[in-house]
Structures are given as structure tokens and as C-alpha cells.
Amino acid sequence: MNKPKRRIRLDTTAQVSDPICRARLKIAASNIGTSHREWPTEIQNMLMQLDHENVEIWTQPEHLPIPLIDDVWKSERYVRDFLASETCEYPERDRWLLLYFKVMMPRIYRHIVR
């Protein structure tokens, strides 16, 4: 008997663009000790873990295939730029960073989005 797929919802652009959520995400990302260069690997490993566990990633209307983080972020300096930015410039990229906390550190995620 096949095990049903678990679904995880990617946060919306509005959630990620919220200034308070964004400030908390920046603090969390800078405080966990992952270097700017390690973030893409960390997130890709998390995505591979989700794929291995047969978890689907969803936005409101549709299922998203597991992406390569390099295709999503398009820059090795994304995290550095994210931490230095004042406003939400790339919410579609920020959502993957927030997903990392949702999956790997749910207690911190709950604090970020409260």
C-alpha cells in the first residue's frame, strides 16, 4: 500500500513581504551560524530530504516540483544581499529561505511568522 504524500505549503508573497516577518527572518538567518556560501547547499539538502520523504511543495493553487536552488536564487550572493536589503526585493526567493525554517527549525519558523 502506497503511503499518501505529505504536503507542505510555501508561504505567500504577502507573508514574506511583511516587514516584521522579514526582520525576524533576517535575524534568524544571520544567527544560526550558516555562512552565506553554505545557505544554497543547506536549502538544496533540505529540498532533497523533502523529495526523499515524498513530500510535495504547494503554493495556493498548484503543486511545485522540487527545484534546484541555483535556478531559484540565481545568485551566489543572494543571502548576503537579502540580509543587507531594506525592502523585500525578491519575495519568490525569500520564500525558500522561510521554507527552510519551516521544515528544519519549526519552532523558529513559528516565531518568525507569528
Q: What local confidence, expressed as pLDDT, does residue 110 receive?
A: 96
Residue 103 has pLDDT above 90, yes or no: yes
Q: What local confidence, expressed as pLDDT, does residue 1 receive?
A: 54
**102 — pLDDT class (breaks 50, 70, 90):** very high
Asked whether 18 and 87 are in contact (CB, 8 A), the reply is: no
**5 — pLDDT class (breaks 50, 70, 90):** confident
- Mean pLDDT of the region 14-33: 94
Beta strands 6-9 and 63-64, pairing class = unpaired
pLDDT in tens, 67-86: 888 888 888 788 888 999 88
**Strands laid side by side in the 55-58 sheet:** 6-9, 55-58, 63-64
Q: Which of 110, 35, 113, 112 is nearest to 79 (CA)?
A: 35
pLDDT in tens, 38-58: 999 999 999 999 999 999 999
Cα distance between residue 22 and residue 16, in whole Å: 6
The pTM (predicted TM-score) of the whole model is 0.89
- Mean pLDDT of the region 24-50: 92
107: alpha, beta or left? (left if phi > 0; alpha if psi -120 to 50): alpha
Average pLDDT of the chain, as a whole number: 89
Boundaries of every domain in the chain = 17-113
